Structures are given as structure tokens and as C-alpha cells.
Amino acid sequence: MDRRFALLPAALAAACAVNPVTGKSELSLVSESQEIEMGKQSQQEVSQSIGYYNDAAIQSYVSGIGRKIAAASERPQLPWEFHVVNDASVNAFALPGGYINVTRGLMTAITNEAELATVVGHEIGHVTNRHSVQQISRAQVAQLGLGVGMILRPDLQPLGSALGSGLGVLFLKYSRDAENQADLAGFRYALNQNYDVRQMINMFQTLEGVSQLSGAGKLPEWLATHPNPENRLQTTQGRIDTLHKDLSNSIVAREEYLQRVKGMVYGDDPRQGFFRGTAFLHPDLRFQLTFPDGWKTQNSAEAVAAASPSQDAIMQLSLAGQTAPDQAARQFLSQQGVKAGESNTQPINGLPAASSYFAAQTEQGQIEGVVTFLSYRGTTYGILAYTGAGKLGSYNEAFRRSVGSFRELTDPGALNVQPARVDLVTLDQPMTVAEFNQRYPSTIKVEEVALINGVAGPSETLRPGRLYKRVVGGPKP
């Protein structure tokens, strides 16, 4: 037997740590300082690739709630940070080391501060239970039969890869056991701060309902990153039923919360770019680009992309900084594994440009395509279009036509488009959601109006004297 593997049990024992919440010994190949550094790096990527919602008051509000809860948790010493990220999806996520993010989509979907406290508490629970650390440790175990050298020397490459994984940490899916632990932590933390934990059930129902309606956003929805444990609602109700505490005077803060989210952007922000058919229009950057008809398109913080109906061809538009187009093209073509083909520097609609055919070897196999860099308003944009080996002839005309569509955006309606926003209405009489939507129209479906007001559907009755949300504005279809 290899002597290295004889060391395995002892190495595993040395790599264990005590879970601060459960008190149980668990596998941990990541120290607390490494955990914090990992979270710090990932949070920097979040700020760059997703960005924070531009509202200091709402940032301060969420941070205040989070810090209060975290200070009373099992890991108050962590450098806790709480942010609202500028994304339309209904989600929240915890990064290692105490970096918690909620989306503006979540903020506009829920209806009171108690619900927010249970969400934030849930994410804090993932950190205090060291769930991401456990996942990363298990992932390391799975590599190279545990990678004995890594255990004995934590500075080796496998751990370095984990530390440099960036936003990959965000998309680590938690186990059902981890979700149950985080649910319990969120319940307990919110209860300790005198929040009405009965609102946790409403929060789960809203999150499930919004996910079913497939809300907009670049991040996945809550249930995509937080597996829904069976009987989650029943388990939470069971905790409420066995409480020996009067919740009648606990904090809900519904009206105060609604005033906080009044005016928040709802759904995708068209100022960040939007589609009309396959035409991508960017009001703030003042350009437009049309992808081939019938292609599936997506706008993310890093790039705008489109895939062919057969999913065997891709086009992607992204920023390339301020490098001149010809220099950017040379840098692209000088990459290892990339072979340059016919090239030219002909302008595109009067804009300086450099374009070249290329072939490249990737992990998925050989590809071929055309790359174009062009300069517009002081910024260079890169358009990468490629398909599998031998298929370029089928897509070449579509690629060239799409690249040639890049031009200045001049349509006043597109340039002046504004995002949809949350508005509030105080009812003077009882009415159903459907009646409310008729009297105070929203630019979203009536089913969505019901969900963001925390009721089951359009036939539910809304109470007089209370504030309710509607959504106004946004780009016209």
C-alpha cells in the first residue's frame, strides 16, 4: 500500500473543525482566515460583475438589520458585510466569511421587515454553520482521491483553486440538511431579535410563487440555489406551534418596509440594455446590435449573448476596454491554441474596426469563427461569433450581418426609456387583487401583483386602510 494513503486517516482527523452552531466535529480543509479571504475575493467579483443597487438608504437599512442579527450569532467576530445587489432575480446568497447579498428583486417581492430578517438570518446561518467551507472541503476530497499532498501542505494548488474560485462559490448548491440548518438558524436569529417568525411562512410562499412565474434576472432564482427541503412550511409551522412566546407584540414592520422599497426598480433595468426582438438596445451606452432572427438572447452584466436555435453557434458582445481595435485583435489572435485566418481593418458603419476569422482548440473541441473589435464613443467592444469545426460556412453570412448591425442608437423612445418601479397605494375600501389591478393598473401580470403583495391570487381580497404595491412604468413591448 502506498505510504501516502496510510497517512490519510490521520490527515483527515487533523483537518476536522468544530461547527460553531452544532458543536459537532466536521471535515474542514479551509481555515477561517482562508474562508474570509475567499469571501472577500468573491464579494469583489460580485461588486464588479453584478454591481450594487444605487441607493445608500436601502443599503444602510439592510446592513443595519444584518449586522444586528450577525452580532448575536455564533460567529460575531467575522467581518460581516451586507449588500443589496442590482439584479432582478428573487434571491439572496451568502459568500464565505460573512459576506451576505440580497437582490433588489427579492426586496421588491417580499412585503415586510420580518420576512427580510428571516431571509438574512437564513443566509447568516449558512455562514455560521460553515456550509460553503464544508462544500469546498468535500470538493477537495473528491479531487485526486483527496489529494493527500494538499492535506499535508495546504498551500498546494487544489486549495489555491478553491480560493480563486470567485463567483463559482455563489453557485454551490446546498444540501437539504444544510437548508434545514439555515432555516432553523434564520428562524432562531429572527426570533431573538423579536421579529414575528410567522412571517417566515409567507416569505417561503412568496419565493416559491415568484419562482413559478420565472422572474427576470441574471442570477438564478432562490430555489435554484437553495434546494427546497420537503415539508419546509410544515417544519416552520411546527416550530411556531411549539413556541412558548407571545408573538402578538413582535416586529412585522410592514408599512415601514413598504415605504423603504417605494420607487425601487422592478424587473430588468432597460437602462442596462434591453431587447426588442433580437435587437439589443443600450440607452446608457447609446448603441444597438441585432442578432440573427430566431436566436435565443441573454443580457448579463459581463456580456450580451445569443445562441442559434440548434445551439451549435454562439455570438457574444462584451467590453474590451480602451485598447485600439487592431491591438485588441492581435491580443486575441496571439492566445495559445488560436490560429488566425483572413483579417481586415475596414470600418463598420464609420467606426474604426478590426476583424479576423480564426480557429481554436478548446476543451469542448475545435471551433471556428470570426472576431471583431470596434471603437465607439471612446470604448472598444468585442464581438465574438463561433461555431463547431466545419460549420462556419453555414453561419458566416449571419455572423457578418449581425456584426455589421452595430451602430449608434438614435431612437428617442429607446434612449429615454426608464425602468419599471414599485409604487404604493392606500386602499379606501376592500377589493380583490383583480379589482385593485383594474383601478390601479400595473405593468406586470395580475398574478405577479398578487404575489408581491403576499396574497395567493387575483381573487384574494385586499384590506382597506393598508398600503399595497403596484408596478408602474418600464419599456413598452
CA distances from 402 to 154, 267, 370, 465 (A): 49, 27, 12, 54
Tens of pLDDT along the chain (477 residues) come to 444 334 444 444 445 566 777 666 565 567 889 999 989 999 999 998 889 999 999 999 999 999 999 999 999 999 999 999 999 989 999 999 999 999 999 999 999 999 999 999 999 999 999 988 777 655 544 443 333 322 332 332 333 333 333 444 444 567 788 899 999 999 999 999 999 999 999 999 988 887 777 655 556 666 666 767 668 889 999 999 999 899 999 999 999 999 999 999 999 999 999 999 999 999 999 999 999 999 999 887 778 999 999 999 999 999 998 899 999 999 999 999 999 999 999 999 999 999 999 999 887 789 999 999 999 999 999 999 999 999 999 999 999 999 999 999 999 999 999 999 999 999 999 999 999 999 999 999 999 999 999 999 999 999 999 999 999 998 765
Q: Which three cell numbers stand for residue 337?
A: 491554441
One-letter amino acid at 79 equals P
Average pLDDT, the chain: 86
- Output the pLDDT for position 167: 47
- The answer to whether residues 216 and 88 touch, using CB atoms and an 8 Å cutoff, is yes
Sign of the Cα torsion 302, 304, 308, 310 reads: positive
78-121 pLDDT, tens digit each: 999 999 999 998 999 999 999 999 999 999 999 999 999 999 99
Q: How far apart, in whole angstroms, are the C-alpha atoms of residue 209 and residue 30?
A: 37
State the DSSP code for 165. -
What does the pLDDT read at residue 476?
A: 66
Return the C-alpha cell found at 161.
Answer: 483553486
Report which of 94, 99, 90, 105 is spatially closest to residue 53, judged by C-alpha positions: 105
3-state secondary structure 414-474: HHCCCCEEEEEEECCCCEEHHHHHHHCCCCCCHHHHHHHCCCCCCCCEECCCCEEEEEECC
pLDDT at 152: 34
pLDDT digits (tens, 9 = 90+) for 164-202: 334 444 445 677 888 999 999 999 999 999 999 999 999
Considering only CA atoms, give the Rg of the chain: 25
What residues contact residue 199 under an 8 Å CB cut-off, 6+ apart? 112, 114, 115, 118, 252
Instruction: Report residue 137 as a C-alpha cell.
Output: 472541503
pLDDT of residue 28: 55
pLDDT confidence of residue 174: 75
How far apart, in Å, are the Cα atoms of 457 and each of 261, 345, 461? 22, 57, 9
